[in-house]
Amino acid sequence: MIGVLLFSFLGIAILAQVLTQQEQKQQTQRLLSQGSYLVSLIALHRTDDFTGNKGDFFLRTLTEYVSAEGLVYCFIHDHTGSLLASLGRHDLVSKIPTDVQRESLLTSGFSTQTFLLKGPDLTIYEFSKPIFEKAQRSGTVRLGFQLPPPALFSLERVRLLAIIAFVIFTMVAFCYYGIIVALRRVNNLHLKLRNMFTDSAPEQTLHRNITGVDQVVDDLEQSLILFKQRMKNIESSKIEMEAKFCVTAYEKNQIMTILDSMKSGIIVTDSQDNIMHINSYMLALLNRKREDMIDYPVGETLGHEELTSFVSRQGTEEQDRAMGTAELSFPEVIPGNVFRVSSPYLKDPEGTVTGKIILVENISNEKLAEKAQQNFIAHVTHELFTPLTTIKSYNEMLMTGEVQEGDTQREFFNTILEETDRLQRLIENLLNISKIEMGGLTLDRGLVKSDWLVHDCIAAIETVARKKHIALEKYLPDIFPSLFGDKELLKVAIINVLGNAVKYTPEHGKISFALGDTDGMATFEIRDNGYGIGEEDLPHIFSKFYRSKDPRVVEQTGSGLGLGISSEIISLHGGKIYARSAPGKGTHFTISLPKEEYHIGKQ
Ligand code: ADP
């Protein structure tokens, strides 16, 4: 503020100085025109007019007339230069430089000279003009004028300066007020910024006095630095949040993808029972679109009577636990399939219920397995009873002497032996499958000569094959390879395959059994020209309890366990089994097993 005032005063002083100089210039101008006019006027007189009474009268008149105009002296010279009349202060006249007088007396026309009068230090303007009478110079008039001293503070100027000062001060006051208002707003801005980052109460800080511009600017700068830091922090938190959001969105997406890829129907609801998510499988089951279900109450939008009634039955947790699960079906979408619905609650870490999951699982396979097991028990029972009944009845007939003929007796004994073998194989298979199921099938390894193995396997099926008039061709090597394994189990594995060839080949058919060497493995090839296996059955024949639905297969006795056991035994020996078949033309099984030389020294 003081600076502004000083600056204003300086401005006013400079203005006053300029005005003074301007005024002096005007005065000099006026003096020059006045001096030249007056000297010309006096020069019109004759020299006689300046002597005697006339001269006194002239000088008196001149004194009165021009005293106020700064006339310092007036000299009238005759043509010789002698003074005829003079007016002025004698102390000053004596100080006029002589060359000034000479110049004036010698000049033939009007002249003006300026010189400094030493002593009082006055600037004098001397005007001179010769007096002519009858075309002869009769004298000279000299007038000396002094410029009035510059009046720095004349009344007009003081008035003008006062007006200017008033205007300036009014403007300064307005500016000052404007600056204060602006500063207050800046100060408030700074305080607001600071309040954003601190806990100080706004009313305490907003009415703080402004002590200076520097302080306000400093405070604002501090606040802006703080603000900038905060902005940086916010920016980095924002980036962090965005990254977290991306991760969450990615994870959510992953979960949704996983849910969508599941082969069970899933509905996730919130605590108000509105649907939050429904997976593709469930949408397909309900034959609905996602947008028609999301955010709708689950009890009103399912469009499936059984499912809606299950969901609506849910109430308290205890009730729900008692209710457990329910079985339902979607006959229009997947006919013949059975589904199980359950609905566990979703809870947060505090145990509060936040929603529930409605899970719909296809349990048709479980049901089928259950049915297959029931069938299996019935089947096995039948399989066990059939040979037992035959053995029992044939035995009774032999013991009671009902059969007397030697040939018939022999045939009866043979049948009893065959049925006993069948029974034994069935029991072995059952034992093996139960061992496999329990993971307890272990190998009793030893050297297995493949010629013995081939012999035993052929012996096991020969009688039945002969009965069906099936030709059995053998392609055996000169040198039989030795195997390292469990002879009894290997026998079971091969007999199951050979037995099937006999079983599923009609009478007068043909079976071939070959042993060879492929890629260093002992390879058994069992071919038949029987019924063959359909394309739909082929991928399942090694699954336990699987039997083709072909009536020619169904009429044969069987448990669906043989090939499952064979494949397990072969794989335990590090071998492979696979089948190729053409329905109506026959089947070709290949069993490859590592040869004995791989195991030398390992026993
Ligand atoms: P099964 O006791 O029914 O013979 P397997 O496990 O031995 O059980 O065989 C499974 C199914 O594979 C059989 O039911 C049959 O449909 C089919 N199969 C196996 N071997 C043959 C074959 N040589 N010819 C035709 N079908 C066969």
For the chain, give the mean pLDDT: 85
Q: Measured between alpha carbons, how far apart are the two ends of the chain, in Å?
A: 111
More confident residue, 52 or 454: 454
How far apart are the CA of 71 and the centre of ligand 1, in A?
156
Confidence category of residue 600, pLDDT binned at 50, 70, 90: very low
User: From CA 457, how far away is CA 502, in angstroms rounded?
Assistant: 12
What per-residue confidence (pLDDT) applies to 162?
A: 83
User: From CA 469, how far away is CA 509, in angstroms rounded?
Assistant: 7
User: What atom in ligand 1 is closest to the CA of residue 532?
Assistant: 25
Could you tell me what percent of the chain has a pLDDT over 70? 91
User: What atom in ligand 1 is closest to the CA of residue 501?
Assistant: 23
471-475 and 510-518 as β-strands: parallel, antiparallel, unpaired? parallel
User: From CA 191, how far away is CA 215, in angstroms rounded?
Assistant: 13
How far apart are the CA of 547 and the centre of ligand 1, in A?
6
Closest CA to 482 of 600, 565, 578: 600
User: From CA 24, how far away is CA 27, in angstroms rounded?
Assistant: 5
User: If you take atom 11 of ligand 1, which residue's CA is the nearest one?
Assistant: 547
User: From CA 495, how far away is CA 401, in angstroms rounded?
Assistant: 36
How far apart are the CA of 251 and the centre of ligand 1, in A?
48
How far apart are the CA of 562 and the centre of ligand 1, in A?
8
User: If you take atom 21 of ligand 1, which residue's CA is the nearest one?
Assistant: 500
How far apart are the CA of 121 and the centre of ligand 1, in A?
150
Q: In Å, what is the CA distance from 127 to each residue of 85, 130, 360, 381, 501?
A: 16, 11, 131, 165, 161
Residues enclosing ligand 1, CB less than 6 A?
A: 496, 500-501, 504, 528, 530-533, 537, 541, 546-548, 553, 558-564, 587
**pLDDT tens, position by position, 51-69:** 888 888 887 777 776 555 6
More confident residue, 8 or 466: 466
User: What atom in ligand 1 is closest to the CA of residue 546?
Assistant: 10
How far apart are the CA of 363 and the centre of ligand 1, in A?
26
What per-residue confidence (pLDDT) applies to 206?
A: 46
**pLDDT tens, position by position, 304-329:** 998 998 888 766 555 555 557 889 99
265-270 and 136-146 as β-strands: parallel, antiparallel, unpaired? unpaired
Give yes or no for a contact between 344 and 321, defined as CB atoms under 8 angstroms apart.
no
Residue with tokens 């699987």, as numbered in its chain:
546
Structure tokens of 603?
Answer: 């026993």
How far apart are the CA of 507 and the centre of ligand 1, in A?
17
Q: List, in sequence order, every residue forming a beta bridge with 361; answer none if it has no partner.
A: 340
What is the reported pTM?
0.43
**pLDDT tens, position by position, 118-143:** 877 788 899 999 999 888 888 999 98
User: What atom in ligand 1 is closest to the CA of residue 553?
Assistant: 16
User: What atom in ligand 1 is closest to the CA of residue 561?
Assistant: 6
What per-residue confidence (pLDDT) applies to 210?
A: 61
How far apart are the CA of 500 and the centre of ligand 1, in A?
6
What per-residue confidence (pLDDT) applies to 268?
A: 92
What per-residue confidence (pLDDT) applies to 599?
A: 43
**pLDDT tens, position by position, 336-363:** 899 999 888 888 888 888 888 999 999 9
User: If you take atom 19 of ligand 1, which residue's CA is the nearest one?
Assistant: 500
Residue with tokens 């059969």, as numbered in its chain:
403
Give 403's DSSP letter: -
Q: Which of 503, 563, 569 to mutate to test the pocket of ligand 1 (most atoms within 8 A of CB)?
A: 563
What per-residue confidence (pLDDT) applies to 583?
A: 94
What per-residue confidence (pLDDT) applies to 319?
A: 56
Q: Where are the beta strands (DSSP E) in 312-352?
A: 326-328, 339-342, 345-347
How far apart are the CA of 552 and the centre of ligand 1, in A?
11
What per-residue confidence (pLDDT) applies to 322?
A: 52
Give yes or no for a contact between 577 and 566, defined as CB atoms under 8 angstroms apart.
yes
User: From CA 50, how far away is CA 86, in angstroms rounded?
Assistant: 9
Query: Once rounded to an integer, what is the mean pLDDT over residues 10-36?
Result: 83
**pLDDT tens, position by position, 171-217:** 878 888 888 888 888 878 777 777 776 655 444 444 456 667 777 77
How far apart are the CA of 451 and the centre of ligand 1, in A?
26
Q: Which of 436, 464, 498, 504 to mutate to test the pocket of ligand 1 (most atoms within 8 A of CB)?
A: 504
User: If you take atom 7 of ligand 1, which residue's CA is the nearest one?
Assistant: 562
More confident residue, 442 or 451: 451
How far apart are the CA of 323 and the centre of ligand 1, in A?
43
User: If you take atom 4 of ligand 1, which residue's CA is the nearest one?
Assistant: 558
What ranges in 468-550 are assigned the alpha helix state H? 487-503
Q: In Å, what is the CA distance from 170 to each residue of 163, 173, 179, 187?
A: 10, 5, 14, 25
How far apart are the CA of 568 and the centre of ligand 1, in A?
16
User: What atom in ligand 1 is closest to the CA of residue 565?
Assistant: 6
Q: Which of 376, 511, 541, 542 to mutate to test the pocket of ligand 1 (most atoms within 8 A of CB)?
A: 541
How far apart are the CA of 503 and the centre of ligand 1, in A?
8
Helix-, strand-, coil-residue percentages of the chain, each rounded to 5: 55, 20, 25
